[in-house]
Amino acid sequence: MKHLLFPILPAFMLMTGYAPAAAGQTVWHDPLDSAATGAGANCIQGRGFAQRDYARLPEPAREIVRDAVWGLSRNSAGLYLQFTTDSPDITVQYEVTGGHTMPHMPATGVSGVDLYNGRGERCWGDYSFGSPITYSYKGLPDTSSAATYTLYLPLYNTVKRLRVGTREGASFAFVPADTTRRPIVVYGTSIAQGACASRPGMAWTNLLHRATGLPTVNLGFSGNGRLEPEVIAYVASIPAALYIVDCMPNMYVPQDSVYTLVLNAVRQFRQLRPDTPILLAEHPGYANRRTNAARHAEDERADRAQRQAYVQLKKEGVKNLYYLSREEIGMPADGMVDHIHPSDYGMEAYADAYHKAVRKILKLK
């Protein structure tokens, strides 16, 4: 872990967690600050609800969804900032509420950020995990005032405050979310939330965002993608180009119950969004399904029930309903860090499979 040296600071500065750079060197930009966001513009992209924080569900959901879902919705998975600057140096400082790492996922994935330029190339920088967490990018070659960057936020932590620093005298502007473009909305499990990517840019939803160029909303809830009507009501309330429902890894219920849950979920979507395409995804298959009979039976049971529900819904005449099979996902044998969570290698397999399906459904070039 890199150690940062700060001068002695007044107590109130230390309490905020932010240590200012030397005078004349860095100008700080807060995306939640009214001066930065302009007349009501929402600069936090990748979500379906305008609000002044780094969370994924709006405040009224606190009283409606289960506590576990509400808590996970505070994580900033899939959220991102876009900004333009001609500064050759960019610094990102922020604070989070939770621990920086998990046993099976590094700090850079749980709590890190990821910066990409307008060509989709990752910008490499130094980082340190303290309070605040700091990422520093030096000597960036794009010094045009129109140079655009995308900053993906942490996958498994809650951001309390964040600011972006640029060299004094450089141009800078946050890019407001384009509300005229309908996003791909993903509802799913820990895999959709981003476990266990090594960094935010490698989560499959963020890979899909860069591959398609379409806004993508991540409503993955670790261990809690359970096809609950209270959650689906919020998912479906977002006007979308496509809904992806990837919940089979969290179907810890009997086969008949999975069948009913899928039927009811699609019908609920159709009540709110009669024509929007829906893509149902199968379980990717446990990594140990060939060596553990119980695991093999579990993922087969969930997929069997969902396939039966899909067939029934098609018989009922449900239009624009699509299906992504385990075989089409094609999770490689070494694509997971444990029994279920993809590594970067597995995330790329997920993203490739979804990209093919999305291109076909939305008729993208």
- Written in H, E and C, the secondary structure of 227-280 is CCHHHHHHHHCCCCCEEEEECHHHCCCCHHHHHHHHHHHHHHHHHHCCCCCEEE
Query: Is the confidence at residue 121, as pLDDT, over 70?
Result: yes
pLDDT at 235 over 50: yes
For the record, the structure tokens of 145 come out as 């005032």
Number of domains in the chain: 2
Write down the pLDDT at residue 15: 34
pLDDT at 290 (0 to 100):
77
User: DSSP letter string over 76-103?
Assistant: -TT-EEEEEE--S-EEEEEEESS-S-BT
Query: What 8-state DSSP symbol labels residue 167?
Result: E
Residues 138 and 199 in one domain: no
155: left (phi over 0), alpha (psi -120 to 50) or beta: alpha
pLDDT at 299: 86
Confidence class for position 303, pLDDT limits 50, 70, 90: very high
In the chain, pLDDT over 70 holds for what percent of residues?
A: 92
* SS3 call for 120: coil
How far is residue 242 CA from its own chain's centroid?
16
Shared domain for 168 and 212, answered yes or no, is no
Clarify whether residues 164 and 213 are in a common domain: no
- Give the span between the Cα atoms of 135 and 201, in whole angstroms: 15
How far apart CA 123 and CA 134 sit, in angstroms, is 15
Please indicate, yes or no, whether residues 165 and 246 belong to a single structural domain of this protein: no
Indicate which CATH number applies to the domain containing 312.
3.40.50.1110
**Residue that finishes a domain, picked among 174, 195, 222:** 174
What does pTM read for this prediction?
0.92
Edge-to-edge strand ranges of the sheet holding 80-85: 122-123, 114-117, 148-152, 80-85, 172-174
**Secondary structure of residue 204 in the 3-state scheme:** helix
Element (H, E) at 184: strand 184-188
Here the tokens at position 68 are 């576990």
Range among 14-28, 37-51, 258-272 with highest mean pLDDT value? 258-272
Mean of per-residue pLDDT scores for the chain: 91
164: domain range?
A: 25-174
Q: Do 203 and 302 share a domain, yes or no?
A: yes
10 Å Cβ neighbour count for 363?
7
Q: Is residue 9 part of a domain?
A: no
Closest Cα to residue 193, out of 333, 57, 12? 57
Asked if residue 115 and residue 210 are part of one domain, the reply reads: no
